[in-house]
């Protein structure tokens, strides 16, 4: 098979990879559960390419993410649940249904009105799905926050939902005071008498409060942490490079030496800005 701009070719390639006699042994043994982590990883790599403003990488990563959709759809088709065209039909129907101001009679809505319509339709859809499954749908304010979101993003989404009814801090400075309070509680939990669960809970509360501070300052905590990770990698590589000039590795140096090189990396970064 040759590369193609036609999505039908991608579907054919996946079918070939999953062919029980001539397919790829690795692809054949995969299930929804085993490839789910790859799906999350590819979504994260899309976000990373966007953050780096690398359009070439973004094109590649979007392709990798699309492959995950095709992969899941193929497994579903093999078990007789649904196929890729059903996925396309479902999302097109949803987009049309949730945009009555574009595809229906509701016109000239303001952004906040559009969001209210979107939320109402989502709630109706969830209630309908719950009825089909024979389960209860409480219609609670937090029900619409996906459980599969990355934890920091979900924390912000939960806080934002609660904030719509006034359950929120009035300013970022008040959140900062809450963070200081949580730090004190973490410090207490570091006492030898505290259990692992207690420490875990207190650290979780601290992270939740930091995510809230990010929300109040209109900063995406996922982006902020991604930038902090990149900064750490960049500066640690500087340490490795400088030590390598001396024929050494970090394991062959001490913390004081590495800390000095870390500060040197910060100086170099500031000078290049």
Q: Is the pLDDT of residue 137 over 70?
A: no
Give pTM, 2 decimals. Answer: 0.66
Domain boundaries, the chain: 7-96, 101-133, 151-219, 223-272
Q: What are the backbone angles phi and psi of residue 125, rounded to the nearest 5°?
A: -65, -45
Dump pLDDT digits (tens) for 16-67.
Answer: 999 999 999 999 999 999 999 999 899 989 988 998 899 999 999 999 999 9
Residue tagged 């982006």 (tokens) = 223
Domain 7-96, architecture per CATH? Orthogonal Bundle (1.10)
Mean pLDDT, residues 140-148: 80
Q: What is the pLDDT of residue 113?
A: 83
Mean pLDDT, residues 246-267: 96
| Residue 212 pLDDT level (bands cut at 50, 70, 90) | very high
Q: Is the pLDDT of residue 206 over 90?
A: yes
Do 7-96 and 151-219 have matching folds?
A: yes
| Residue 1 pLDDT level (bands cut at 50, 70, 90) | low
DSSP H or E segment with residue 192: none
DSSP class of residue 250 equals G
Contact 15, 22 (CB under 8 A): no
Contact 91, 98 (CB under 8 A): no
Q: Is the pLDDT of residue 185 over 70?
A: yes
Please give the mean pLDDT across all residues of the chain.
91
In the chain, the percentage of residues whose pLDDT exceeds 90 is 69
Q: Is the pLDDT of residue 136 over 80?
A: no
Q: Is the pLDDT of residue 241 over 90?
A: yes
Q: What is the pLDDT of residue 9?
A: 93
Mean pLDDT, residues 194-216: 95
Q: What is the pLDDT of residue 123?
A: 78
Q: Which CATH superfamily is domain 151-219 in?
A: MazG-like (1.10.287.1080)
Dump pLDDT digits (tens) for 217-231.
Answer: 999 998 899 889 999
Q: What CA–CA distance (Å, rounded) separates 101 from 166?
A: 28
């Amino acid at each position: 098979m040759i590369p193609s701009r036609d999505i039908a070719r991608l579907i054919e390639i996946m079918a070939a990879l999953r062919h029980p006699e001539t397919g790829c042994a690795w692809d054949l043994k995969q299930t929804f559960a085993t490839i789910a982590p790859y799906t999350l990883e590819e979504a994260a790599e899309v976000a990373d390419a966007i953050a780096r403003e690398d359009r070439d990488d973004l094109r590649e990563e979007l392709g990798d993410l699309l492959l995950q959709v095709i992969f899941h759809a193929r497994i579903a088709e093999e078990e007789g649940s649904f196929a890729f065209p059903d996925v396309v039909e479902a999302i097109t129907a949803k987009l049309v249904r949730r945009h009555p101001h574009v595809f229906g009679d509701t016109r000239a809505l303001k952004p906040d009105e559009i969001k209210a319509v979107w939320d109402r339709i989502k709630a109706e859809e969830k209630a309908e799905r719950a009825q089909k499954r024979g389960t209860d749908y409480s219609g609670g304010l937090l029900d619409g926050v996906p459980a599969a979101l990355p934890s920091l993003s979900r924390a912000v989404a939960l806080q934002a939902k609660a904030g719509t009814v006034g359950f929120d801090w009035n300013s970022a400075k008040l959140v900062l005071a809450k963070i200081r309070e949580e730090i004190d509680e973490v410090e207490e939990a570091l006492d030898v008498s505290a259990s692992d669960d207690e420490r875990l809970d207190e650290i979780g509360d601290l992270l939740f409060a930091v995510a809230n501070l990010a929300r109040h300052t209109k900063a995406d905590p996922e982006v902020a942490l991604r930038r902090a990770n990149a900064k750490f990698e960049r500066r640690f590589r500087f340490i490795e490079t400088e030590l390598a000039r001396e024929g050494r590795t970090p394991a062959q140096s001490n913390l004081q030496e590495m800390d000095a090189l870390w500060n040197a990396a910060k100086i170099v970064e500031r000078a290049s800005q």
